[in-house]
Structure 1
């Protein structure tokens, strides 16, 4: 199936529900999270804190090999701050509404894979998975909600056009 760009209409997610919609709350909450977490990635404290997740990730471990602990953290921080910028611009520009939400969703899809790759997520003393440890397991669990917020913005930002539906 071929998908053409003209088959989709981009819109600012919260425009359809009014300026004080719950989608606006989700957007700005995600902006705060990405700015805060992104800025923290430029500290040694945070670089060391995320190292176990990155080192054990089949998706992201190459960052440590290529850039080292702090360099990997800088790269992730730059991506997180870029995501915040796209989300902010997305409050005013429809294509950025979709881009920022997609970047946010991709972030949380990746971090949720840490459940499978990070040692210590399953709590052995409670019988193993699905019992999860306070750290890192419960720390990662919040990303389920953040992924849902991101997908809500994304799905509302991208609408199929009537002329594009069903064509290949």
Structure 2
């Protein structure tokens, strides 16, 4: 057992895996927001959310989706840049946490359980939203890693 434990990669390997999986998710979900099928799908759930409802009358379904997509692509880019800049990684991680807190807030007032079955049989909305709890935790881990690294680095310059 000790031989196996001694052969484990460092924890930074896990942070790297989290980083690039989140970049992948933000890149593909962000790009999808520029497609009309995704814009329509997002509108179905976001149009009545207080954070987004005001945007739809101003810039429409596709415009609102484009804004969301741009935020997601920016978040993924900042998380990627966190490999070289912990400050940018900290910002990207916090933006990612904000993204998933917002999407999880869609759970309030939504029909989450499958009609005719009830708890624990999730409807498509619950399935769409609940995965974001893990993605929130991944962004939290990236945020904490960047923050702790910045704190340790800055502590080395203390006079």
The two structures have a TM-score, normalised by structure 2, of 0.82
Q: Distance in 2 between matches of 1:58 and 1:117?
A: 13
Preserved CA contact (<8 Å) 1:54 1:64: no
C-alpha displacement of 1:60: 2.0
Partner of 1:12: none
Partner of 1:132: 122
Partner of 1:9: none
Task: Structure 1: give runs of 5+ residues left out of the alignment.
Answer: 1-15
Structure 1 moving runs of 4+ over 2 Å: 120-124, 129-132, 159-164
Output the aligned Cα RMSD: 2.2
Q: Distance in 2 between matches of 1:51 and 1:61?
A: 9
- Out of 82, 106, 129, the position equivalent to 1:114 is 106
Task: Structure 2: give runs of 5+ residues left out of the alignment.
Answer: 1-9
C-alpha displacement of 1:59: 2.2
Answer 1 or 2: higher relative contact order, Cα 8 Å, separation at least 6.
Answer: 1
Preserved CA contact (<8 Å) 1:98 1:158: yes
Preserved CA contact (<8 Å) 1:41 1:77: yes
Query: Structure 1 pair 67/117, CA: closer, same or farther in 2 (3 Å)?
Result: farther
Preserved CA contact (<8 Å) 1:38 1:78: yes
The number of residues matched between the two structures is: 144
